[in-house]
Each structure stands twice: as C-alpha cells, then as structure tokens.
Amino acid sequence: MQITASALSDMYPVSRALEYARDFRHAHRQMSLRKKFLDQRPSKLYGTFFGTLFAPEKTILFTPQTPSPGYVIYKLCALAGYKIIHDPCRRYDLAFKFHDSTVTSPEFRACIPEEMPVINGSSLDISKQQVGKTLEKVFGYSLLIDPLTYRRTALMKSNGNSTHDGHIVECPLSSARDLSRGTICEKMIDNSTPDGYYLDYRAPVFGKTIPLVYMKYRKPEDRFTTPSRSRTVTPRSVFSSEEIRRIIVFAREMGIDYGELDILRDNADGRLYIVDANNTPFGPHHGFTLKQQQAVLPILARNLKTLVTSFLSKNAAAD
C-alpha cells in the first residue's frame, strides 16, 4: 500500500512534527546538562534521555514563554527528569507561569483550566515599586523614598527588573524633572564589608523553603553589576528565624512560589532589605564555579521536586 504525501501530512501534521522536534532538542540539551552537573555515566544518560522523551518523571507546561537552558529552572527540570512543553493542547501534569518580564497580564491563564493551581501563577508584578511596597507591608519599614523631600544620598534605578542600572544621587532633587521616567529612588544601603567589597545575599525560594543562600561579593567598581566571587551558606547562618519567616511571607505576598530574592543588610541599622525579586532567575550567576554549580543545582532540583509534588496535591484536590 502506497502512502501519499497528503495522507502522511494528515497522519502527522506539521505542528505535531515541530513539537516532536522540540521534545528531542530539549531532551538532548537536558542530557548534556545532566552530564555536566550530575556526572552521569553514558548508560544512565541515554536512559534518562529516552525517559524524558517517552516516559518523563513529570511533564510541565511553561506559559506564556518557554525557558532556555540559561535559566535556572531549565537546569532544574533537566536534573529532575521533567519534560518541558509549550503547547497547552498536549497532555501535561502541571502548569508553570514563565514570563521574563516585569509585569505579566493575567490573560496568560486563558489556555489553562481555571481550577488548576499554577506555579508562580499569582506573580504578576515584580517591579521595584511593588517590591518596596511589599517590603514595607511585611517587614514594617520602608526602602522607597521621596527624592524631593529625602535629605541624604539615595539610589536611583529603573522600576523594571534586571536592568542593573543603579546609580547614586544626592537628595533632595531640585524638581520632579530630575527623576527620570520609569525610575524609582531607594534608601542607600551600606552593605560594605571590612575587606572593601559589597555583600549581597540571594535567596532561592521554593514555596515555604529557602534551601540555601548565595553570598555575592562585588568590587566597588562593580557594585551594581556582576559579582566577582560567590559562595553558598545555610539560611540560618546569615538570617534569624524571624527574618527567614518574613522572607517567605514576602515571597508569598509577591505571588512567588519559585524564584530568587536579592537581599541586603544595612550596616547602619542592621535590618534586612529585599531590593529585588526575580521569578525567572538566570544562572547560577557570575562568580560561581562549575564545582559550586555541581554542588548546588542537585539541592535546588530536589526542592523543585518537593514544590511540584505540593502543587500536584493541590491539583488533585481541585479535581
């Protein structure tokens, strides 16, 4: 029996063929990541490669965007054996809102069943303005300042996410015209260290858990850009129990089920200030060696599995 091109096209539409090609590409990339970060033997690698293609641990729909290998969540899905898809018409176990943007429209949920809980589904605004408002609500003190009345050095930066354009200004500003459009002003935090660096904390959040904390050291000339070196510590070695509780509450108020928070401790008052919230973190970040990544990523992958299990329980309850 001869199969015509038309019949073959009906049996295997182009859209389906493209999806299979994407599946293969993702599975191949994930195999490479497992080799890099888990140092698996070839037999294990190929077993997980075909497993991800045909019998994945879980299938996760990412919408409205799909992460690329540079994002942390892509690496964690690779290590966890999760299949990544973008087409909501296919079968999937769980939905994950992924949008590398400061603000997301609630319309992203249009393709997802209304009763289904979505990871980061409530994280729609991660602007600096929203971060400042949430910090004041949860911690009881403010980071944002009025540059027309404040009488100290301040930090001016974009309200958007991941711009790394902070610069120091002297307040008060003479007029509102001195405040660039789309920027905000914050209290200047003294996070300097005795050896001349500036220390930032970055806390990965998985639901109600902070599995570890990155300590990022920056040279004075790179204070608002990339760190020169980094290391990881336990949350309790740098934060009090009450601070950890408030950080988790902050993430919940921001709608962040999974993400990373940038935190500074002010030498002047000893308080923590959450200065940035990221629900699509890239990395691990600059200053992190391959050996450090091999130690950290499996820990984060286990926490992703726990988060996914908790959301699947919510889905089951919704059904």
**Overall average pLDDT of the 225-230 stretch:** 76
> pLDDT value at position 8?
42
Name every residue whose Cβ is closer than 8 Å to that of residue 278 and which is 6 or more positions away in sequence. Answer: 126, 161, 162, 259, 260, 261, 262
- What is the tens place of the pLDDT at every residue in 268-291? 999 999 999 999 999 887 678 889
Percent of the chain residues past pLDDT 70, beyond the cut: 84
Name every residue whose Cβ is closer than 8 Å to that of residue 41 and which is 6 or more positions away in sequence. Answer: none
Highest mean pLDDT among 11-25, 37-51, 161-175, 195-209: 195-209
- Please state, in angstroms and rounded to a whole number, the distance separating the CA atoms of residues 105 and 121: 11
Q: What are phi and psi of 184, to 5 degrees?
A: -135, 165
- Mean pLDDT of all residues belonging to the chain: 86
- Does residue 5 carry a pLDDT above 50? no
Task: Pick the closest to residue 296 from 70, 42, 28, 79 (CA basis).
Answer: 79
Whether residue 218 contacts residue 228, with contact meaning beta carbons closer than 8 Å, is answered with yes
- Please state, in angstroms and rounded to a whole number, the distance separating the CA atoms of residues 57 and 78: 10
pLDDT band for 210, please (50, 70, 90 cuts): very high
- Please state, in angstroms and rounded to a whole number, the distance separating the CA atoms of residues 75 and 82: 10
**Overall average pLDDT of the 304-315 stretch:** 92
Amino acid at 280: T
**Per the omega criterion (within 30 degrees of 0), is the bond before 172 cis?**
yes
Integer angstrom CA distances of residue 59 from 51, 83, 92, 96, 181: 11, 5, 5, 11, 42
Lowest pLDDT segment from 173-177, 236-240, 263-267: 173-177
- Please state, in angstroms and rounded to a whole number, the distance separating the CA atoms of residues 288 and 295: 11
pLDDT band for 171, please (50, 70, 90 cuts): confident
Whether residue 50 contacts residue 110, with contact meaning beta carbons closer than 8 Å, is answered with no
- Does residue 258 carry a pLDDT above 80? yes
Amino acid at 245: R
pLDDT band for 177, please (50, 70, 90 cuts): low
Hey, CA dihedral for 237, 239, 241, 247, is it positive or negative?
negative
- Please state, in angstroms and rounded to a whole number, the distance separating the CA atoms of residues 280 and 111: 20
2 secondary structure, DSSP code: P
Q: Is pLDDT larger for residue 317 or for residue 46? A: 317
> pLDDT value at position 34?
80
Amino acid at 177: R
> pLDDT value at position 131?
97
pLDDT band for 22, please (50, 70, 90 cuts): confident
Lowest pLDDT segment from 163-167, 194-198, 259-263: 163-167
